Structure 1
């Protein structure tokens, strides 16, 4: 399953975030596949799209950075997946 991970950091955490990112490369924990990550210019804001088979890995990701960043994590669907779900919804509604 895919998830969108958004983060925000306080300016007071900037040095610690930079240090941890440079040390670890921001790699996700085991069981999480990083599909892409984007950073805002001039701030501790950004988002990533990750893939995981279960939620414990997602929890590990949030906990790994939770002391420095606030995170919002949402399940995500591709256009194709959403189209299939919408098609089922319309078919059920039109019965």
Structure 2
């Protein structure tokens, strides 16, 4: 299953976030989480990633690595095709 992972940091965390990112290269997710892409906002401590996982436990471990600097929002994500199939099933059941 795919997930959208969004993060936001406070301005007071900027220096620590920069140092950790440069040291770790952004700390790739652990085994069990495949990073499909990651994007960062310009001029603020925020961004999002698209990941794929069948298990939320390694996802929780990954975001906890950064939890002292950022808040996270993790939500399931559907492609257009997946959403279309779900909407079609919903309409058929009405």
TM over 0.5: yes
Whether the 8 Å contact between 2:6 and 2:49 is mirrored in structure 1 is yes
Q: What stretches of structure 1 move > 2 A for 4+ residues in a row?
A: none
Tell me the residue number matched to 2:76: 75
Tell me the residue number matched to 2:20: 20
**Residues 19-58 of structure 1, C-alpha deviations (whole Å, 9 max, x = no match):** 1111111111221111111111001011111111111011
By how many angstroms is 1:86 displaced?
A: 0.7
- Number of residues of Structure 1 aligned to a counterpart in Structure 2: 93
Give runs of aligned pairs for residues 11-90 of structure 1, distance below 5 A: 11-26=11-26, 27-90=28-91
Secondary structure of the equivalent of 1:65? coil
Structure 2 unaligned blocks of 5 or more: none
Structure 1 unaligned blocks of 5 or more: none
Normalising by the residue count of structure 1, what TM-score does the alignment of the two structures yield?
A: 0.93
Hey, what's the Cα distance between the residues in 2 that align with 1:30 and 1:23? 20
By how many angstroms is 1:71 displaced?
A: 0.5
Hey, what's the Cα distance between the residues in 1 that align with 2:19 and 2:61? 19
Hey, what's the Cα distance between the residues in 2 that align with 1:61 and 1:74? 15
RMSD: 0.9
